[in-house]
Amino acid sequence: MTTSTGHFTETMVEVAQTQLYLLNGGTGSPLLVLHGVEGHEGWLSVHEALAQQATVYAPAHPGFAQTERPPWIETVAHQALFYHWFLQESGLQGIDLIGVGVGGWIAAQMAVMCQATLRHLILVDAAGVRPRQGEVADIFIIPWREMVERSLYDAKHCAEAERIYTAAPLQEFGGMREAGRSMAMRMCYRPYMYDPALLPTLGKIRVPTLVVWGAQDQIIPIDCGHLYQQAIPGAALRVIDRCGHWAHFEQPQTLAEIIREFIAA
Amino acid sequence: MPMTSYYYFTEQPYTGYNPDLQAQYPALRLTLPNTNYDPRLASDLYNRYHDEYQVADEVGFDGIMINEHHTAPFCMQASINITGTVLAKITRRSKILMLGNPLPVVDNPLRLAEELSMIDCISRGRLISGFVRGGGVESLANNINPVYNRERFEEAHDLIVAAWTRPGPFRWDGKHFQYRVVNPWALPLQKPHPPIMVPGTASPETVIWAARHRYPYVVLGSSLEQTKELIAIYQETAKEEGYEMQPEHIGYLIRVFVSDSAEKAQAEGHNFFWQKGALNKQIREWMAPPGYATVDVAGIRRLRAISKAFDNQAYQEAQDNYQLILGTPDQVIEKLRYVRDLLGVGHMCLWSHDGYMSHEDTVRCIELMGKEVLPALRAA
């Protein structure tokens, strides 16, 4: 399949008796990108940029978009288990795992569970830990449209967001994003956006880890980035300036460059 | 003419704040600062509303309908069971119609079963125990995941009925509720258990659920057209279940104020709009959070349309459409009779106080209802 933003293949893969919606493109070592609460927004600029030197896998989490939720998946830990199941079935090894927002939480949870198949871990503005200062913005009581705007440093000049939300405008009710919004609420409602068992177990991770944060993230305080960096042995933190919570929308080239550098190092 | 029971209702509004404040907040819910709440005034209001309930009991209402909302100035009842307990002691004959306990936000339904049993015993069997899902905002206010709203509603209901009717002790292993031992030493006086009713405004799912359980469904002030549609759904479901819907299966809540003069009633009726359109301000994320309803967009839109309808209607239009009935006893008798017979309802909840209506005017309204309106409606 070809779109204006690049070349990729669209498939449904059976995992745990569930049809997983998966886009993949590029050549090179496997790189799995896990989306956040915004949902699966198709083949993104950041995927295309990363696909220059890797085989990018971009699935829609169970409960989001085209992937149905099997009844047992209710939490982030369940998602992590599901993706380990996917890795097992696909036979992929030496994976570079990237997660943004709640996808970062899933990725961190996966690394805590089992890192045998992982080569690098990259967490971008990741949810999952409770900040010492400030609060994670309550995206469940902020109107969704406002949440989208607040997730960007400069909402008026974000080409990727403009493309996505022009191609498929936000709907107040229903639409393709409704299921994912419900799924996010199912997983992240209480405790809100963190798992008290995650931070104390991050020390188990031995995979080289990079934490990336938007300097102007108004959704998840950068303190969470510091917490991740301090808790994961040897982890580094990179901050992208002029960038909000959605680095993958707002600074896709910079983000891809930082990731490529980290993987190559 | 259906055999109809008549219930008095007020939301118990907290009127001690400036309604203009609402312009600064997304809705009159959840985040409206409670620094605008004065407990001294609230103490007066609670006691005044209780006095008015006593008048309704004395003048011959069949029951008193009460409700519950959270973080909402339009309704002071943060616990319907507390009002129910008060009614159990201060009234003598009226049914206590709870519409209702919002089951999904309750974390311990067994305790709720016990409390309701106590109210039934203390009132000597006058409890009608309504259960509601509650709007999405009630889930947010109580920090209960809206995604599980329907599941929790249904499981809590099943557990409460079991606790009331199944000899204990027994174990409960549900998805949302688990108990090693269900064995309450507080059981309802009414057998097999107090009547259950379910109110709603729009959701066909809830009508179907009520009809399948043969529980009366009370339409909360939706337009007559909408109400007829909901009743038709009940009727169809009843047929599928192998029984004929009767008037006793349907109720309707209607705003009505009676006074000695038509002019006075018209003036006081404006109190039903005291929140100046605030009911319109319902942001989607609060009213119907993702996952709160099955992804039935049409249903959610309809819900919104209905919740807006009353406030949007011009004063006269609301009266022409029977959303608001004002007048002398003779005037309201005719209109109430029309609505009752059109809908064929066995339960009419008369919302007869709101906003800044004075205690004296409210009491006079209740007295006229009891002495003139209800006898006329019962006669024909």
Averaged pLDDT, B363-380 = 98
What architecture (CATH level 2) is domain A2-264? 3-Layer(aba) Sandwich (3.40)
Structure confidence by residue, pLDDT tens digits, A148-194: 999 999 999 999 999 999 999 998 888 889 999 999 999 999 999 99
Q: Using a CB-CB distance cutoff of 8 angstroms, which residues of chain A are in contact with residue B297?
A: 173-175, 178
**Is residue A124 helix, strand or coil?**
strand
Contact criterion met (CB < 8 Å) for B300 and A190: no
Q: Using a CB-CB distance cutoff of 8 angstroms, which residues of chain B are in contact with residue A140?
A: 140, 285, 289
Residue A1 in contact with partner chain B when CB distance is under 8 A: no
**Is residue A125 helix, strand or coil?**
coil
Helices and strands in chain B, H and E counts: 14, 11
**Listed residue (A220, A234, A20) closest to A104, CA to CA:** A220
Contact B1, B58 (CB under 8 A): no
Contact criterion met (CB < 8 Å) for A178 and B143: no
**Residue B275 pLDDT class (50, 70, 90 cuts):** confident
Q: Does domain B5-379 have CATH number 3.20.20.30?
A: yes
Averaged pLDDT, B20-37 = 89
Contact criterion met (CB < 8 Å) for B291 and A186: yes
Phi-psi region of A230 (alpha: psi -120 to 50; beta: other; left: phi over 0): alpha
Residue among A142, A143, A179 minimizing CB distance to B295: A179
Residue among A142, A181, A190 minimizing CB distance to B290: A181
> What whole-number distance in Å separates Cα of residue B135 and Cα of residue B202?
11
Residue among B31, B143, B145 minimizing CB distance to A186: B145
**Residue A135: pLDDT over 50:** yes
Q: How far is B293 from chain A (nearest CA, A)?
A: 10
Domain boundaries, chain A: 2-264
ω into B100 cis (within 30 of 0) = yes
Residue A73 in contact with partner chain B when CB distance is under 8 A: no
Structure confidence by residue, pLDDT tens digits, A168-180: 999 888 888 999 9
130-149 in chain A: CB under 8 A from chain B: 140-144
For chain B, the average pLDDT equals 93
Residue among B143, B145, B297 minimizing CB distance to A185: B145
Structure confidence by residue, pLDDT tens digits, B232-270: 999 999 999 999 999 999 999 999 999 999 999 999 999
Residues 6+ apart with CB under 8 A from B24: none
> What whole-number distance in Å separates Cα of residue A118 and Cα of residue A108?
11
Contact criterion met (CB < 8 Å) for B290 and A185: yes
Work out the end-to-end distance of chain B between its first and last CA atoms, rounded to an integer number of angstroms.
7
**Residue B311: pLDDT over 70:** no
> What whole-number distance in Å separates Cα of residue B279 and Cα of residue B317?
18
Q: CA nearest B31 in A: which residue? A: A141
Residue A181 in contact with partner chain B when CB distance is under 8 A: yes
> What whole-number distance in Å separates Cα of residue A74 and Cα of residue A69?
9
Residues 6+ apart with CB under 8 A from B39: none
Averaged pLDDT, A250-259 = 98
Structure confidence by residue, pLDDT tens digits, A49-93: 999 999 999 999 999 999 999 999 999 999 999 999 999 999 999
Q: Using a CB-CB distance cutoff of 8 angstroms, which residues of chain A are in contact with residue B175?
A: none
Q: Using a CB-CB distance cutoff of 8 angstroms, which residues of chain B are in contact with residue A179?
A: 295
Q: Using a CB-CB distance cutoff of 8 angstroms, which residues of chain A are in contact with residue B30?
A: 141
> What whole-number distance in Å separates Cα of residue B306 and Cα of residue B208?
19
Contact criterion met (CB < 8 Å) for B285 and A184: no
Residue among B31, B147, B284 minimizing CB distance to A182: B147
Q: Using a CB-CB distance cutoff of 8 angstroms, which residues of chain A are in contact with residue B26?
A: 143
Chain A contact probe: residue of B30, B144, B147 with most A CBs at under 10 A: B147
Structure confidence by residue, pLDDT tens digits, A22-39: 999 999 999 999 999 999
For chain A, the average pLDDT equals 96
Across the A:B interface, residue pairs with CB atoms under 8 Å apart total 52
Domain boundaries, chain B: 5-379
Contact criterion met (CB < 8 Å) for B285 and A144: yes
Give ipTM to 2 decimals: 0.93
Structure tokens at A218: 């108004």
Residue among A142, A174, A189 minimizing CB distance to B295: A174
Q: Tell me, what's the pLDDT at B28?
A: 85
Query: What's the distance, CA B7 to chain centroid?
Result: 11
**Residue B279 pLDDT class (50, 70, 90 cuts):** low
Contact A105, A192 (CB under 8 A): no
Bridge partners of residue B130, in order along the sequence: B197
Q: How far is A41 from chain B (nearest CA, A)?
A: 18
Chain B contact probe: residue of A185, A192, A193 with most B CBs at under 10 A: A185
Q: Using a CB-CB distance cutoff of 8 angstroms, which residues of chain B are in contact with residue A186?
A: 145, 147, 291
Task: Count the Cβ atoms, other than its own, within 10 Å of residue B92.
Answer: 11
Contact criterion met (CB < 8 Å) for A143 and B26: yes
Q: How far is CA B197 from CA A242, B97, B157, B200, B217, in A?
A: 56, 8, 12, 10, 6
Q: Tell me, what's the pLDDT at B284?
A: 87
> What whole-number distance in Å separates Cα of residue A38 and Cα of residue A61?
11
Structure confidence by residue, pLDDT tens digits, B193-224: 999 999 998 888 899 999 999 999 999 998 99
**Residue A1: pLDDT over 50:** no
> What whole-number distance in Å separates Cα of residue A59 and Cα of residue A22?
4
Q: CA nearest B297 in A: which residue? A: A174
Contact criterion met (CB < 8 Å) for B297 and A179: no
Residue among A144, A175, A185 minimizing CB distance to B146: A185
Residues 6+ apart with CB under 8 A from A136: A127, A130, A192, A193, A194, A219, A220, A221, A224
Structure confidence by residue, pLDDT tens digits, A122-133: 999 999 999 999
Structure tokens at B372: 């003139």
**Residue B21 pLDDT class (50, 70, 90 cuts):** confident
> What whole-number distance in Å separates Cα of residue B376 and Cα of residue A30?
80
**Residue B370: pLDDT over 60:** yes
**Residue B2: pLDDT over 90:** no
Q: Tell me, what's the pLDDT at A2?
A: 44
Contact criterion met (CB < 8 Å) for A178 and B300: no
